[in-house]
Amino acid sequence: MINTKKFLEFISYKENSDREGFILKETADDNNEQPQGENQPTQSEKPPARKALKKTSRAGGLQPEEDQVEGDPDAIRASLNQNKNIISNLYGLPENKDLVIREFVIGTDPEINCFAVFIDGLTDKAIQDLLFQALMLFAERPLPKEKGGLVYLVREHLLPGNQVAVKNLFSDVLTAVNMGDTAIFLEGSTKALLIETKGWEHRGVERPQSEQIVRGPQEAFNETLRANTALIRKIIRDERLTTEMLTMGDRTRTIVAIMYLRDLANPDLVAEVKRRLDSIKTDYIADSGILSQFIEDNPYNLNPTILTTERPDRVASQLVEGRVAIIVDGSPFVLVVPTTLYEQLHTGEESYIRWQYGSYLRYLRALAFLVSFLAPGAYLAIVLFHHEMIPTELLLAIAGNREKVPFPSLIEVLLMEISFELIREAGIRLPGVIGGTIGIVGALILGQAAVQANIVSPILIILVAITGLASFAIPDYSLSFALRIYRFIYIALGVTMGFFGIAIGIFAQMVLTANLKSFGVPYLSPVGPRTVGGVDVVYRMPVFFHEKRPDYINPQDITRQPRVSRGWIKDKGGGTND
């Protein structure tokens, strides 16, 4: 049969095909031999020009504008009325109430008829008032002779806006207006002025919601792209920190920013990120979560291969290791690539507290990692198959407490696990004040009542509680999801095959996880494959030992700090009061 042949092919060994995809190649291990900064490979030319990547610095300078293409339907006409009609058609006026067309006259000599186009709600009214004031009241200059120079006169002498651009295509105008800019069309000019007036309602910078820490900065990203890039740049005040932007989503026209350190991030990595982003064709990108699903390497594996964080300090620390951050406008979560399993178990707090405490936290978290998906399965394996594995008195305590329970232990475990998952889900959905308390109170009351009603045994409540706590101790939200699902797989394996099944499960999970890659970096590095261990993988060495950046990122400069980073220990002089 064909199917059996296919199946045999599926399960038997095959030579690795070239499906490996992108591999982050070793960089020449620099000992500062490579001149830094200048010899950038030709990364900026690489991306295909479907969506032109624009540098952040919106050109406010005096570049020569391209000449108007004759007869181009996209071109701005010289007639004000024509322009107005085109704009009305494009936006579907008068049904579309969002767009405002404000007609006015510039008070020059002679006067010029103009109209401004903007979207109500996306603009800052104060800035707009200032603009109109300047144009209508304070503009008293003689007109230049050439009509084409009119826009430049207005831009250079009359408009007080901080970012003013001149465009001659409607598509450019539309993009800008959709982003909250104000466009001004002048009578007789085939160019339009685009003035930066963005100012929509948004949340301020608040505390992180899902990645709280005790020591360290308490700022989180919000929904505004510009605020987010600023939060990162506020930490890395380096001119080599580059932000590239592109728009994605045919309908949402979401701006996506890529941030990296120009002299540090591996150019191949940056090019790969751009290549993947450029190739995405979709209509709706509202959040980085959607984008991450489009660009991740292994969509079918449970483990997330892209780090998602809402903490600017976390992103900054990853950027200086040579990684690339992807910021999506409207999303308070920033993607960082490449990432490894070990980084998903870090929070950043370990760096802010002393290294002993940090290492302790890490080991605690490693324990939580194992408990969160293995504990219920192991419990079931012991209770059903391996009675001899635990001390007699513990076994008798478990057995005694189970005597009154009418269900098999599998049902008992599933009952509690599912109740716990429900509490967890409900705790997030429940409104406001109730939500916070339902988690603890609900679990306590439910557990207590279940024990009193002899539905479950008290030992199981402890088990489920510990498992739940362990899964909350996993700092990465996605990874914690993955482990929650793995938990049920291990329950099935433990029930059917005992520890033998759990061993099979661990082996399979290990192989599947080791197979993952995150933007060319093996997901389990530096452990599988084994590379340079580093001082910040599981345990954390003191900060002055952090001499190298992670090897598997292959940054352009691997050295973080010299061998002796604490200069003061070299000169033994001590104080000056001798």
Question: Which positions lie near other proteins, rule CB under 8 A?
Answer: 3, 7, 383-385, 387-388, 392-393, 395-404, 408-409, 492-493, 495-498, 500-501
Q: Which is closer to other proteins, CB of 353 or CB of 512?
A: 512
Q: Enumerate residues 6+ apart whose C-beta is below 8 A from 448.
A: none
How far apart CA 542 and CA 161 sit, in angstroms, is 50
How far apart CA 94 and CA 568 sit, in angstroms, is 72
Distance in Å from the first CA to the final CA of the chain: 92
CB of 541 to other proteins, least distance (A): 41
Q: Which is closer to other proteins, CB of 311 or CB of 402?
A: 402
Q: Which is closer to other proteins, CB of 20 or CB of 403?
A: 403
The count of other CB atoms within 10 Å of the CB of residue 364 is 12
Classified as helix, coil or strand, 470 is helix
Tokens at 510, concatenated: 């290990």
CB of 284 to other proteins, least distance (A): 25
CB of 511 to other proteins, least distance (A): 15
CB of 513 to other proteins, least distance (A): 18
Q: Which is closer to other proteins, CB of 2 or CB of 214?
A: 2
CB of 6 to other proteins, least distance (A): 9
Q: Which is closer to other proteins, CB of 402 or CB of 549?
A: 402
How far apart CA 288 and CA 292 sit, in angstroms, is 6
How far apart CA 202 and CA 200 sit, in angstroms, is 6
CA distances from 55 to 47, 69, 83, 245, 325 (A): 13, 25, 29, 7, 16
CB of 457 to other proteins, least distance (A): 9
Q: Which is closer to other proteins, CB of 88 or CB of 496?
A: 496
Q: Which is closer to other proteins, CB of 144 or CB of 400?
A: 400
The count of other CB atoms within 10 Å of the CB of residue 406 is 8
Q: Which is closer to other proteins, CB of 107 or CB of 458?
A: 458
How far apart CA 12 and CA 281 sit, in angstroms, is 35
CB of 336 to other proteins, least distance (A): 33
Tokens at 547, concatenated: 């001499």
Tell me, rounded to whole angstroms, the distance of Cα 577 from its chain centroid: 52
Whether 311 contacts 217, CB under 8 Å: yes
CB of 503 to other proteins, least distance (A): 13
Tell me, rounded to whole angstroms, the distance of Cα 264 from its chain centroid: 20
